A = this chain, B = another copy of it.
């Protein structure tokens, strides 16, 4: 188990961070399960919950419910929250969309 954790850590370091859960149209519980799995099954030390636009509210729900669910198994806390904007061209107009990363970690 210890070994595995180390391997994961190395993998994260190499790739930057691949423990990313992207929030989209699926039911809330899918993402919560995804986050919990990363911490409990894959022994991640950090999980990034990534969202854009209208999914940002859902991302906060995922972070909060996951955090409460993990409390009695493997307590995690909110290590960082970063917001930003992405700019793109749509129908000939420049449009901005807000983005958010919530980093949960043990």
Contacts and interface: CB of A to CB of B under 8 A. Distances in A.
Interface of A: 53-57, 60-61, 63-65, 68, 78, 81-85, 96, 98, 100, 102
Copies, count: 2
19 contacts: A53-B57, A56-B56, A56-B57, A56-B60, A57-B98, A60-B98, A60-B100, A63-B83, A64-B83, A64-B84, A64-B85, A64-B96, A64-B98, A65-B96, A68-B85, A78-B83, A81-B82, A81-B83, A83-B102
A81 B84 contact: no
Central interface residue in A57, A61, A68, by most chain B CB within 10 Å: A57
A32 to B, nearest CB: 13
Contacts of A57: 53-57, 98
Contacts of A61: 98
Contacts of A55: 57
A75 B62 CA distance: 32
